[in-house]
Amino acid sequence: MTTTTTTETTADFRVAGMTCGHCVRAVTTEIGAIPGVEAVAVDLAAGRVQVTSTHPLDEADLAAAVHEAGYDLA
Ligand SMILES: [Cu+2]
């Protein structure tokens, strides 16, 4: 990336236990509340979450947010 001045980062990780749209909404809301997060995309079938943020996220922050939503990183 040489054409942009931002350091936008996309991280992909797994979340265990999501089973429906409510789970997706809870995880999206909690992760979306982390400072710097710009977008959260949940793939329910794959149990994966893709997070776009303005800077690399601390995995501890992600884990805390996912836990707050009622799930755990897989
Ligand atoms: Cu659910």
Give the integer Cα–Cα distance in Å for 42 and 23: 10
Q: Which amino acid is at 22?
A: H
User: CATH no. for residue 39?
Assistant: 3.30.70.100
Looking at the domain assignment, is residue 45 inside a domain? yes
CA of 70 to the centre of ligand 1 (A): 10
> Is 2 a member of any domain?
no
Specify if 54 maps to a domain.
yes
CA 47 from centre of chain: 11
User: pTM value?
Assistant: 0.88
Number of domains the chain is built from: 1
Cα 7 to middle of ligand 1, angstroms: 33
Residue-range definition of the domain harbouring residue 21? 9-73
Q: What is the CA(48)–ligand 1 centre distance, in A?
A: 14
Per-residue pLDDT tens over the stretch 8-39: 999 999 999 999 999 999 999 999 999 999 99
Could you tell me the distance, in angstroms and rounded to a whole number, from the CA of residue 49 to the centre of ligand 1? 15
Tokens 């979450």 correspond to 49
Residue 1 lies in a domain: no
Determine the distance separating the centroid of ligand 1 and the alpha carbon of 22, expressed in angstroms: 4
Residue 47: pLDDT over 60: yes
